[in-house]
């Protein structure tokens, strides 16, 4: 079976959120994600892309944010070639038998928007 999730965010809105509520940066993004984004010339495009990717991943799982999953329990990483992949730090998500090969994500951004798509392939009913 295949599940697909997609999310688009306005970069300006993510920038405003992170500037206005500095503590949210730590709540939403892992330390590795913050280091990655802060190293980029236009860091808010990268923050927005990771924000959208986390939303897209949860859509593939049929879950929302709340008391079961926290924002910083999903980490968007990049392999040596730059391809993004997911790491989970939540017991519920880690128990889903998901791995780097079962969940594929793609992130893109332009001047105003960031978009992410997630595709989950699995054999059992969820």
Q: What is the pTM of this model?
A: 0.88
User: What is residue 63's predicted lDDT score, i.e. its pLDDT?
Assistant: 74
| Domain assignment present for 90 | yes
In a domain, 101, yes or no: yes
Of the CA atoms within 13 Å of residue 72, those in its CB half-sphere come to 12
Whether 22 is in a domain gets the answer yes
- Please report the pLDDT score of residue 37 as a whole number: 97
Computed over every residue of the chain, the mean pLDDT equals 87
Q: How many domains does the chain have?
A: 1
Q: Is residue 14 in a domain?
A: yes
Burial class of residue 103 (count of CB atoms within 10 Å of its CB; 0-12, 13-18, 19+): buried
71-117 pLDDT, tens digit per residue, is: 888 899 999 999 999 888 866 665 566 655 688 999 999 999 999 99
């Amino acid at each position: 079976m295949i599940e697909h999730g997609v999310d688009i965010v306005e970069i300006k809105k993510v920038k405003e959120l992170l500037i206005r509520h500095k503590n949210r940066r730590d709540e939403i993004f892992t330390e590795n994600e913050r280091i990655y984004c802060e190293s980029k010339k236009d860091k808010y495009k990268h923050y927005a892309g990771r924000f959208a990717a986390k939303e897209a991943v949860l859509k593939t799982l049929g879950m929302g944010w709340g008391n079961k999953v926290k924002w910083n329990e999903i980490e968007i990483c990049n392999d040596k070639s730059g391809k993004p992949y997911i790491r989970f730090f939540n017991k519920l998500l880690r128990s889903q038998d998901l791995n780097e090969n079962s969940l594929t994500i793609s992130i893109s951004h332009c001047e105003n928007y960031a978009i992410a798509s997630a595709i989950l392939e699995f054999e059992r009913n969820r």
